[in-house]
């Protein structure tokens, strides 16, 4: 870990402007991802801006009938919230499928969205990695890739985004509220937050330098049956090989987002039109153009089969 300076801020604007005055600063929320990465010098901020005291820890009704979730709401609190459990069961279930009780007590809504990949080569600073050190190459390609992306990847990077919560947020069409160093605010649809790796896998989101997430807003409830199915080798405390988050309506229509397959939560709205025709049709459209490796090609049929099980379960 490189030594760093630390400050605790008391307003969102102060946080953003502190970040603006130091291009090598980082926000710290629960610290469950950032600190691990700093210990390994995968992240090397020279300054940490602690945003825990900003009061973004409430879940409040949003004007259009949705819910506004403060960026600092802990994963445990969010999963247990009665409104979330009633109207956004998918989100609660996705959260509870992630990490462990201790980690969820610390992890925050914004931190969870911005957690970084679990590619093992990214974690080993002896290895070339375009995401960790741009231009150095990608050690994963041609190496051990069972966990890696099957779609939307590039020749520069085949990493996945590991968040469970983000899959639910994507299916729920959440929007992300931010404030920038100049004080301006904006709404970013969750679909636009995470980027595909392309030639610049180190640029993972569309946030600009010093941009602070203040909340994540869920639109008004859409009803339906909410199912989150996380598939993994061990029964708990493991990242998804593949996960399927679905909202299925009585008439068989609905939404599907998939985790463990891409650099971002994977959702193809056009594929959802196939839902009444069943899992095979949806998966075919959802994974069109997939380029798996030999080691992770199984994810294609795993997505299809898992989705099939989810749709069957939704029928009851």
Partner 1 sequence: MKFDTPATTNPIDQLKVIGHATSRIDGPLKTTGRATYAYEWHDRATNPAYGYIVGSAIAKGRIASMDLSRAKAAPGVIAIVTSENAGKLGKGNYNTAKLLGGPEIDHYHQAVAVVVAETFEQARSAAQLVKVDYTATKGSFDLWAGRDGAAKPPGRGDNQPDTTVGDFSGAFASAPVQLDATYTTPDQAHAMMEPHASMAAWEGDKLTLWTSNQMIAWTTGDVAKTLGLPKENVRLISPFIGGGFGGKLFLRADAVLAALGARAANRPVKVAMQRPLMFNNTTHRPATIQRIRIGANRDGKITAIGHESWSGNLPEGRPETAVNQTRLLYAGENRMTAMRLAMLDLPEGNAMRAPGEAPGMMALEIAMDEMAERLGIDPVEFRARNDTQVDPEHPNRPFSQRQLVECMRIGAERFGWSKRHAEPGKQRDGRWLVGMGVAAAFRNNLLMKSGARVRLDGQGRVTVETDMTDIGTGSYTIIAQTAAEMMGVPLEKVVVRLGDSSFPVSAGSGGQFGANNSTSGVYAACVKLREAVAQKLGFNSADAAFVDGQVSSGNRSAPLGQAASDGELTAEDSIEYGDLAKTHQQSTFGAHFVELGVDVATAEIRIRRMLAVCAAGRILNPKTARSQVIGAMTMGVGAALMEELAVDKRSGFFVNHDLAGYEVPVHADIPHQDTIFLDETDPMSSPMKAKGIAELGICGVAAALANAIYNATGIRVRDYPITLDKLLDHMPDA
Which parts of this chain interact with ligand SF4 (CB under 6 A)?
117, 119, 121-122, 129-131, 138-140, 157-159, 201
Q: Is the dihedral of CA 198, 192, 161, 279 positive or negative?
A: negative
Q: How far is the CB of 28 from ligand SF4 (least distance, A)?
A: 22
69 binds ligand FAD per the rule CB under 6 A: no
Nearer to ligand FAD, 27 or 122 (CB): 27
Give the interface segment with ligand FAD, choosing from 28-36, 62-70, 281-289, 299-307 (CB under 6 A): 28-36
Q: Is the dihedral of CA 214, 1, 195, 112 positive or negative?
A: negative
33 binds ligand FAD per the rule CB under 6 A: yes
The Cα–Cα gap between 263 and 212 comes to: 21
The Cα–Cα gap between 107 and 111 comes to: 7
Q: Which of 146, 57, 64 is nearest to 109 (CA)?
A: 57
Nearer to ligand SF4, 9 or 140 (CB): 140
The 3-state secondary structure of 18-79 reads: HHHCCCCEEEECCCCCHHHHHHCCCCCCCEEEECCCCCCCCEEECCCCCEEEECCCEHHHHH
1 binds partner 1 per the rule CB under 8 A: yes
139 binds partner 1 per the rule CB under 8 A: yes
Among 62, 103, 196, 281, binds ligand FAD (CB under 6 A): 103
Q: Which residues bind ligand FAD (CB under 6 A)?
A: 26-34, 36, 51, 71, 98-99, 103, 106-108, 110-112, 114-115, 162-165, 212-213, 239
């Amino acid at each position: 870990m490189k030594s760093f300076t630390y400050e605790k801020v008391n307003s969102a604007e102060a946080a953003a402007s502190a970040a603006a005055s130091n291009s090598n600063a980082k926000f710290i929320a629960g610290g469950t991802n950032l600190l691990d990465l700093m210990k390994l010098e995968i992240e090397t901020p020279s300054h940490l801006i602690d945003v825990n005291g900003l009061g973004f820890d409430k879940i409040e009704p949003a004007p259009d009938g949705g819910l506004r979730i403060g960026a600092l709401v802990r994963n445990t609190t969010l999963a247990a919230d009665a409104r979330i459990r009633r109207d956004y069961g998918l989100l609660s279930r996705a959260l509870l499928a992630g990490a462990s009780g201790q980690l969820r007590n610390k992890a925050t809504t914004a931190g969870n969205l911005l957690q970084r990949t679990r590619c093992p080569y990214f974690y080993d600073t002896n290895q070339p990695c375009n995401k960790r050190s741009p231009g150095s190459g990608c050690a994963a390609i041609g190496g051990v890739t069972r966990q890696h992306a099957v779609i939307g990847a590039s020749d520069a990077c085949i990493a996945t985004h590991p968040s469970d919560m983000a899959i639910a947020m994507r299916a729920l069409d959440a929007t992300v509220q931010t404030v920038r160093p100049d004080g301006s605010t904006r709404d970013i649809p969750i679909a636009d937050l995470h980027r595909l790796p392309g030639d610049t896998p180190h640029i993972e989101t569309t946030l600009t330098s010093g941009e602070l997430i203040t909340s994540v807003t869920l639109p008004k409830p859409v009803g339906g049956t909410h199912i989150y199915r996380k598939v993994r080798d061990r029964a708990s405390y493991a990242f998804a090989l593949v996960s399927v988050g679905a909202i299925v309506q009585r008439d068989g229509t609905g939404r599907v987002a998939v985790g463990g397959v891409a650099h971002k939560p994977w959702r193809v709205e056009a594929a959802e039109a196939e839902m009444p025709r069943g899992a095979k049709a949806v998966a075919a459209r959802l994974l069109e153009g997939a380029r798996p490796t030999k080691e992770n090609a199984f994810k294609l049929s795993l997505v299809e089969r898992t989705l099939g099980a989810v749709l069957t379960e939704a029928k009851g």
